[in-house]
Amino acid sequence: MSATEERQAGTDPDEYTPDPRRWRALSVTLTAGFMSLLDVSIVAVALPSMREGLGASPAAIQWVVSGYALTFGLALVPAGRLGDAVGRRTMFLAALAGFVVCSAAAGAAQTVGMLIAARLAQGVAAGALAPQNSALIQQLFRGAERGRAFGFFGATVGISTAAGPVVGGLILALAGGPGGWRWIFFVNVPIGILALVLAARLLPRGTPGKRGHVDVAGVALLGGGVLALMLPLVQAESGGLSRLWWLFLVGAVLLAAFGWWERRVVRRGGDPLLDPRLVTQTPGYASGAALGTVYFIGFSGIWLVFALFFQTGLGWTPLRSGLAVTPFALGSAVSAVFGGQLVDRFGRRLTVIGLIGVLLGIAAAAVVLRLAPTEWVFWAVAPALLLGGVGGGLVISPNVTLTLRDVPVEMAGSAGGALQTGQRFGAAIGTATLPALFYLVLASTGNDFRSAIAAALAAAVLGLAAALVVAVIEWRREVHRERREAAGDHPAEQHP
């Protein structure tokens, strides 16, 4: 990492002293992050037993999943800004403690109302936890080490998303009984307590950024905009898109007002919730955030349609259904670690290669699931998912690294929160549209599950192709910048 890059990151290279505990601290924060991200998808496999055990309606029990996703997304940017202002260690410990308490409350819930309330609060805690992870990486690591750290972070994101059905199926198989679903939440408690104790010992004290007031008006405008955009999506299965479509217009107006307000705050010398110059003047941030959002549209929804096809169409157990997608998780875990180490060398080209891999893998899976004999599906789809996983691991962690590498450390929390908000929004779109398309094709073809899964995965491929277009455009810009620098044309540095 060059001296210029270090100054843009908010630290002079001569003043940087590596924390000897940084890798142990990273392992603790990633463990906590894994739990919070896993809870986005792990609950889906337990919904039938929850509904039966609590006597809840399908619409009510759906809030156990959608409510968590909604409050998770709402908390990301404000919590990132709070971490920048009051200290990432403080925010991390408070959020993790809240997550543990809410997990225990969800597991002990006696009514569906209590369970939904616990999940809403748990989502807030998870959303407060998530941006501290990327911000702490910015704070603790420099140069090639930062790429490696983001590689582990990307592996955590990829594995937690893909492994949810596997872990959920294992827990239900081991716990058994009508109350087995409670262990989906209780398992977080001992792990979370241990992580809390270790984090209190290992995380650095203090904050490298400047303290300042929190932009309350910005929080209200951004929160209202995100809520308006996500609520119809998370309620899609209960008719949210048809009933609440008008909220998309409200959300667009509120986000436009948010952008105007943040520019006003900057002009007056205040502390914005999300500095607009991150988008307009930080190289790679806007395109990286856009790529992450579009990628998660295609990436997140495939797990629900896989579960629908394997469990409803083929009659598999939740555990077998989860094991079927394990090759994707394994491939993603391995390649994400290597991707973090290679990103400094290959730059945006690495995400282009990764997107081609995941696109080809999902396309091949669509063909296999459409044509392969039922008795061969489990093994026939594995190579395609492995290819997709290897490609996916080369997308998430390198994209996070490339998006955040020029962000000043004192703004790392809010920048990481905004990046993950886009990913959550993309995930909400994907998890709403792909299952809806699956059911639409299923109804129109007389319960032809193979046509339904093929159509849903084809739609996911279109989303991945859109992400590939964004990556190629940014790659070309990166090449042009490198050529200008090699020719001795050094444009004036622009950074917040």
Instruction: Identify the CATH number of the domain in which residue 95 sits.
Output: 1.20.1250.20
Would residue 7 count as lying in a domain? no
444 pLDDT band (50/70/90 cuts)? confident
Would residue 336 count as lying in a domain? yes
Residues 155 and 193 in one domain: yes
Q: Both tokens of residue 426?
A: 């993309």
Would residue 475 count as lying in a domain? yes
Residues 138 and 266 in one domain: no
pLDDT in tens, 190-218: 999 999 999 999 888 764 545 556 677 87
**Residue 219: Cβ within 10 Å count:** 17
pLDDT at 275 over 80: no
Q: How many domains does the structure of the chain reveal? A: 2
Domain that holds residue 225: 215-272
Residues 220 and 301 in one domain: no
pLDDT in tens, 12-54: 444 667 778 889 999 998 888 888 878 877 777 777 778 778 8
Residues 170 and 207 in one domain: yes
pTM score over 0.85: no
CA nearest neighbour of 423 among 130, 16, 65:
130
Residues 257 and 279 in one domain: no
**Letter string b/e over residues 362-375, b meaning 16 or more CB atoms within 10 A of that residue's CB:** bbbbbebbbeeeee
Residues 387 and 285 in one domain: yes
**Per-residue model confidence (pLDDT) at position 189:** 92
- Single-letter residue type at 172: L
Residues 234 and 195 in one domain: no
In three-state secondary structure terms, 7 is helix
Query: DSSP secondary structure string, 43-73?
Result: GGGGHHHHHHHHT--HHHHHHHHHHHHHHHH
Residues 383 and 239 in one domain: no
**CB-count burial class (<10 Å; 0-12, 13-18, 19+) for 378:** middle
**Letter string b/e over residues 153-168, b meaning 16 or more CB atoms within 10 A of that residue's CB:** bbbbbbbbbbbbbbbb
Residues 93 and 186 in one domain: yes
pLDDT in tens, 457-480: 999 999 899 999 999 998 888 788
Residues 360 and 309 in one domain: yes
Q: Which of 272, 288, 303 is the last residue of a domain?
A: 272
Residues 90 and 221 in one domain: no
Cα 361 to chain centroid, rounded: 20
**Per-residue model confidence (pLDDT) at position 334:** 82
